[in-house]
Chains A and B, each alone.
Chain A
Amino acid sequence: MMRFLVRRLGHAAFLLLGVSVLAFAFSTLAPGNYFDEMRLNPQISAERLSALRADYQVDRPMALRYARWAAALLHGDLGFSFAYNTPVAPLLLIRARNTLLLTGTATVLLWMLALPLGVWSAERLGRPADVALSWATAVLLIVPDLALALGLLVLAVRSGWLPTGGMASVGFEGLPAGQKIRDVALHMVLPVTVLVASALPVLLRHVRAAMAEALEASFLRAAEGHGISRRRLLYRYALPAAAHPLIALFGFSLGALLSGSLLVEVVMSWPGLGPFLLEAILARDLYVVIGGVLLSTLFLVAGNFAADLLLYWADPRIRAEATER
Chain B
Amino acid sequence: MSTRSRLIICAVVLGALHLGVACAGFFAPYDPAAQDREHPYAPPMRLHFVDARGGIHLRPFAYAQELRTGSFDQYEENTARAIPMRFFARGASYRVLGVLPLRWHLFGTDAPVYLLGTDGYGRDLLSRVLFGGQVSLLAGLIGAGLTLSIGLCIGAAAGFWGGWKDEVLMRVAELFLALPWIYLLFAMRAFLPLAVPPLKAFLLVVVVIGAVGWARPARMVRGIVLSAKERNFVRAARGFGATGGYLLRRHILPETGSVVLTQAAVLVPQFVLAEMTLSFLGLGVPEPVPSWGNLLASLQHYNVLVSYWWMYLPALVMVPFFLGYLVLASLLQGSSRATKIEEAPVEV
Q: Which residues of A approach B to under 8 Å, CB–CB?
A: 14-15, 18-19, 22-23, 26-27, 29-32, 138, 141-144, 146-147, 150-151, 153-154, 157-158, 164-165, 256, 259-260, 262-263, 266-267, 277-278, 281-282, 284, 289, 293, 296-297, 300-301, 304
Contacts A26-B188, A150-B315, A281-B189: A301 and B178 contacting too (C-beta < 8 A)? Answer: yes
B189 close to A263 (CB less than 8 A): no
CB of A286 to closest CB in B, whole Å: 8
A293 close to B191 (CB less than 8 A): no
A293 close to B187 (CB less than 8 A): yes
A158 close to B319 (CB less than 8 A): no
Dominant SS among interface residues on chain B: helix
- Provide the bound-state CA to CA distance between A304 and B171, in Å: 15
Contact with A along B167-187 (1 / 0, CB 8 A): 000011011001110110011
Interface positions, chain B 182-218, Cβ under 8 Å from A, are 182-183, 186-194
Which single residue of chain B is at the shortest CB-CB distance from A17? B175
A sample of 11 cross-chain residue pairs with beta-carbon separation below 8 angstroms, ordered by A number, consists of A19-B178, A23-B187, A144-B273, A144-B318, A147-B319, A150-B312, A153-B305, A281-B190, A296-B180, A296-B183, A301-B178
B179 close to A297 (CB less than 8 A): yes
A304 close to B182 (CB less than 8 A): no
CB of B137 to closest CB in A, whole Å: 14
- Provide the bound-state CA to CA distance between A30 and B191, in Å: 5
Contact with A along B325-343 (1 / 0, CB 8 A): 0100000000000000000
B179 close to A19 (CB less than 8 A): yes
Dominant SS among interface residues on chain A: helix
B318 close to A147 (CB less than 8 A): yes
- Provide the bound-state CA to CA distance between A144 and B171, in Å: 31
One of B139-147, B239-247, B280-288 contacting the partner: B280-288
- Provide the bound-state CA to CA distance between A256 and B172, in Å: 20
Interface positions, chain B 306-329, Cβ under 8 Å from A, are 306, 309, 312, 315-316, 318-319, 322-323, 326
- Provide the bound-state CA to CA distance between A14 and B312, in Å: 44
Size bracket, chain B contacts: 35 or more
A289 close to B273 (CB less than 8 A): no
Residue of B191, B281, B309, B319 touching A143 (CB-CB under 8 A) = B319
A30 close to B192 (CB less than 8 A): yes
Which single residue of chain A is at the shortest CB-CB distance from B181? A259
Residue of B171, B178, B183, B305 touching A154 (CB-CB under 8 A) = B305
A18 close to B186 (CB less than 8 A): no
B306 close to A151 (CB less than 8 A): no
Contact with A along B269-281 (1 / 0, CB 8 A): 0000100110011
Residue of B183, B187, B326 touching A141 (CB-CB under 8 A) = B326
B305 close to A266 (CB less than 8 A): no
- Provide the bound-state CA to CA distance between A217 and B318, in Å: 41
- Is B115 an interface residue, CB under 8 A from the partner? no
Q: Which residues of B approach A to under 8 Å, CB–CB?
A: 171-172, 174-175, 178-180, 182-183, 186-194, 273, 276-277, 280-283, 296, 299-300, 302, 305-306, 309, 312, 315-316, 318-319, 322-323, 326
- Which has the most chain B C-beta neighbours within 10 Å: A30, A32, A151, A154? A154
Q: Please, which residues of chain B bring their CB within 8 A of the CB of A304?
A: 178
Q: Please, which residues of chain B bring their CB within 8 A of the CB of A29?
A: 191-192
- Provide the bound-state CA to CA distance between A29 and B283, in Å: 17
B190 close to A138 (CB less than 8 A): no
B186 close to A281 (CB less than 8 A): yes
Which single residue of chain A is at the shortest CB-CB distance from B175? A18
A300 close to B306 (CB less than 8 A): no
Which single residue of chain A is at the shortest CB-CB distance from B315? A147
- Which has the most chain A C-beta neighbours within 10 Å: B174, B190, B296? B190
- Provide the bound-state CA to CA distance between A165 and B300, in Å: 10
Contacts A146-B276, A153-B305: A14 and B171 contacting too (C-beta < 8 A)? Answer: yes
B326 close to A138 (CB less than 8 A): yes
Q: Please, which residues of chain A bring their CB within 8 A of the CB of B193?
A: 30-32
Q: Please, which residues of chain B bring their CB within 8 A of the CB of A150?
A: 296, 299, 312, 315
Q: Please, which residues of chain B bring their CB within 8 A of the CB of A262?
A: 180, 182-183, 186
A282 close to B178 (CB less than 8 A): no
CB of B176 to closest CB in A, whole Å: 9
Which single residue of chain B is at the shortest CB-CB distance from A285? B190
Contacts A30-B193, A277-B186, A293-B187: A144 and B322 contacting too (C-beta < 8 A)? Answer: yes
Q: Please, which residues of chain A bring their CB within 8 A of the CB of B175?
A: 15, 18-19, 22
B182 close to A263 (CB less than 8 A): yes
- Which has the most chain A C-beta neighbours within 10 Å: B178, B194, B280, B296? B178
Contacts A30-B192, A259-B182: A154 and B281 contacting too (C-beta < 8 A)? Answer: no
Contacts A31-B193, A150-B312, A154-B309: A142 and B182 contacting too (C-beta < 8 A)? Answer: no
Contacts A277-B186, A281-B186, A300-B180: A146 and B319 contacting too (C-beta < 8 A)? Answer: no
- Provide the bound-state CA to CA distance between A18 and B190, in Å: 18
Residue of A15, A26, A142 touching B191 (CB-CB under 8 A) = A26
Can you add 11 more A-B contacts, CB < 8 Å, to A23-B187, A144-B273, A304-B178? A22-B187, A30-B192, A141-B326, A143-B322, A147-B316, A153-B299, A154-B299, A154-B312, A281-B190, A293-B187, A297-B179
- Provide the bound-state CA to CA distance between A224 and B29, in Å: 66
- Provide the bound-state CA to CA distance between A15 and B180, in Å: 13
